[in-house]
Structure 1
Amino acid sequence: MSIVIQEGNLSFSFDFEAIKFDDTPYYRNHFIKIKNGISAVDILAVDNNTGYLIEIKDYTYQDTENLKLNDLVEAIVNKVISTLSAILPMKNNSNNTAEKNIAHSFSSANEIKVFLHLELSPPTSKLEQSTWSFQKIQMKLKNRLKPIDAHPKIVSMKYPNHFSWIVTKI
């Protein structure tokens, strides 16, 4: 079984259960309407009793807007918390079997891992994102997400950090 999920110019290939969470009918048609400011991670995946929350940020586009590091961290924390709060009702209330199954698998997982897949703008760029350090982002996320995942991972195509899926540029 190979599941391919496309996000922008990146393609993610999984050999285990995964969905593009922020595009699911349950999230789009029901959960997002609860409150302004709710957002979700891009991919929800489950493998061997480990649940993965994967957020994808690709700042290699020409029209990328400048962003402060603290704003990125705040957005990711919000997405992780919102996604986690959507999984239980999705498991119980979704009309889509695939959504219900992965929500059930994720709810039964023994461990949750948070991944930020980050493609930075070139160092010659005038964007603040071109100067970001993976270690600094990881430290800030670790401080904020410690009750959920004490060791969130920041990865990219250049620095894959041994994740369990394949990422290619389209």
Structure 2
Amino acid sequence: MEKLLKSRKTIQFLFGFLTLYAIYVKNVNLGLIIAFAAILGILFGKVFCKWMCPIGFIMELMTKNLKDDKLKLQRYNYFKVGCPISWIQGFLNKHSMFKIKVDSKTCTSCGICDDICYITSVDKKKSFYKNGKMDPGVAFNCARCMECVDKCPTNSIKFKM
């Protein structure tokens, strides 16, 4: 997972470039791109924004120098409002085949997941491990950045069916 996360920006740039190329050079209908994103949403949830979107790539470049709290707020707002693809995939986070899941048997409630997550840092009603809180992994604005999966010291958080 760590290697994949280190390659995320490269993957996002390549898919973003291919998306723009498909639209502007090959004249692929934007509706087809949205349909493709909806299919991805059914499988993986909101992965387009953080892993493939050219606008998301540009947004990350523009906000890379923000302090941690401001950056998390910016991500929270962007991935909540975003674009039509963001809306479709955000809705599908709850219904996608693959989800971010916490194994409560191995979780030590260390809180690293909530500290790293931009959703839980802004919305205190959500938590990966606290009882009675809503799951941020199925939240509309979870862009499946996978930082919670990567940073969990007990590997209790996984992205799986």
User: TM-score category by the smaller chain?
Assistant: 0.3 to 0.5
- The TM-score with structure 2 as length reference comes to 0.33
- The TM-score with structure 1 as length reference comes to 0.32
Higher strand proportion (structure 1 or 2): 1
Higher helix proportion (structure 1 or 2): 2
